[in-house]
Amino acid sequence: MQILTKYLILLIIIFIGLFIEQIFNFYKTIVFDGNTITLLVSLISGLFGFTVAVIPFAIQLFNQDNTNKKNDFLNKLMKKDKFDYFIKPMFNRFIKMLYIMFCLFAYAIFLTILETNKENLKSFSFLHQIFFEEPFYKYLITILFYFYMVLIIEFFIMLRNIIRDLQTLVFNFFKSKESELKELEENKNA
């Protein structure tokens, strides 16, 4: 319900731009700006590669047999309660992030195709008239901008969540190593 409310408010705010020409021009600039789309696609490509590389590495790491090795960090993470609480949701967020990146990438490609083929649509006068004449064109740009904003918001929320997951993982690693070093120090002194 909270997500629906958030995006409904965003939709209302964006549709106000239909009646104010400067805001509509801003929407049009954002939606069809080639530099913004290029930056977005570059960011998505890098993060997509990173995420795709991390998932198999993590699966391989967690699949190792650590019973005969002294690795407190992995042994603690592999306990059922930690695994269900931390690792499963992290993998689910990584997969959801891949899905959102794919949707955003496909949307950026769609916008690029739409922008580059705008002139070619003039040969199909009925299509050009439908899509690029004043009343429908404003609604089309506003709807494209809305979906663009929804995807961007979801993308950055997922990115923030994954950064928090990695931060927690690093914090747990340091905590585990600190207790391990403290234990070694106590064994030396004893």
pTM: 0.65
95 pLDDT tier (thresholds 50, 70, 90): confident
Tracing tokens 């340091």 back to the chain, one arrives at 174
Residue 179 has pLDDT above 80, yes or no: no
What's the pLDDT at 123? Answer: 58
Residue 45 CA to residue 32 CA, distance in Å, equals 20
What CA–CA distances, in Å, run from 12 to 32, 155, 179? 21, 21, 53
Query: Is residue 1's pLDDT more than 60?
Result: no
Q: CB–CB of 101/47 below 8 Å?
A: yes
Task: Return all residues near 72 (Cβ < 8 A) that are at least 6 apart.
Answer: 176, 179, 180
**Residue 33 in contact with residue 112, Cβ under 8 Å?**
no
First-to-last C-alpha distance (Å) of the chain = 58
